[in-house]
Amino acid sequence: MQKTTRVVVIAPNLGSDLGWLTGIDPRLEVLDGNALARDIDGGKPLLERADVILLGYPVPHGIVERAPHLRWVQHTQAGVSNLHGADLWDSPVLLTSSRGAVSATGIAEYVIAGAYHFACGLGEATRQKAAGEFSRGGYQLRSLTGATIGIVGLGGIGAEVARLARAAGMRVIATRRSVASPERDAEGVDLLLPADRVAELAAASDFVAVCVMLTPATQQMIDAEVLAAMKPHAVLINIARGEVIDEDALIAALQAGRIAGAVLDVYTGELAGRPPRRELVELPQVVLTPHISGMGDPSGYEPVKRLFAENLRRYLEGQPLLNLVDRSRGY
């Protein structure tokens, strides 16, 4: 008799239809646990049966203590920083992420749109409209063609930003953790730098796109020193995690006019449910959105579903899982 593997889905972001999972293998029993995202205690009987969990956002706390048979959790997000505070992180449960499958094109388009917003003076247009003004005064237009974008973290999303930026005629420099020394014309960018040379990247860039995973090493890596290295006309764009940026230093730089602006799809405390700081809401040179950069991707969550389906097949056959999280690195 074949052993049944019970998969509990706690991922309301993927929708309520679980039909895409039910036909993968007859050894699977798929259980709808989406309500557990709101009431983890009420779902204890369901969790007691779980061998595998597909986990979305928000991440309920106390999963491991309620799921004694749990062996593996796959997260529907590329980053796993919001698993650090849960009991999953310090458990023996295997963790995998959806890195490389999460809306890379949509997020990259958001980054390029943020650059065009400032380059084409759309912020000034918005300000004038709200103030009842209509003149050419105040506009400081510039072309993206020939401008330099610095990408902090050349992973899956960073690489897609690089591809679109080059298509727009931009020079691209980037950092990557695995690079030991500068490399020219490598990995789809003009200059690839080691991760500890972020200030050098900032000094050479007209736009700085933050695309790194949040780990202890990247916590507040965009600090006062990096911001001081940026050009006065430069713009910071963050689609990673708010905690990668020292918000006190960012606000001080914006208020003093040391950088031109910021496009923020994330902010410190967002995943904990806290509202953004008042200064980020009120500063006119800040574009602030509620973590929506990937929502326009035409592929939607289909790549995430395909990745999990492939990992399920691998799990059942005893093969290595894709995107296994290295807890020592933080992703």
Which H or E element spans position 21?
A: helix 19-22
The yes-or-no answer on residue 109 being catalytic is: no
- Read off φ and ψ for residue 9, nearest 5 degrees: -100, 115
| Catalytic choice (99, 241, 243, 277) | 241
Which three-class secondary structure state does DSSP give residue 66?
helix
Residue 321: burial class (beta carbons within 10 Å; 0-12, 13-18, 19+): middle
Cα within 13 Å of Cα(38), Cβ side = 4
Measured CA angle at 52 (ends 50, 54), to 5 deg: 110
By residue count, the chain amounts to: 331
Pairing of strands 72-75, 52-55: parallel
CA distances from 266 to 165, 237, 241, 245 (A): 21, 10, 6, 10
Tokens of 63: 């999963």
**Cis peptide bond N-terminal to 58, omega within 30:** yes
Beta bridge partners of 261: 235
Catalytic residue among 233, 258, 291, 314: 291
Using the structure block, give the residue that is written with the tokens 């650090």: 84
Active site residue 241: yes
Q: Give, as one character, the DSSP assignment of residue 290.
A: S
291 a catalytic residue: yes
Active site residues: 241, 270, 291
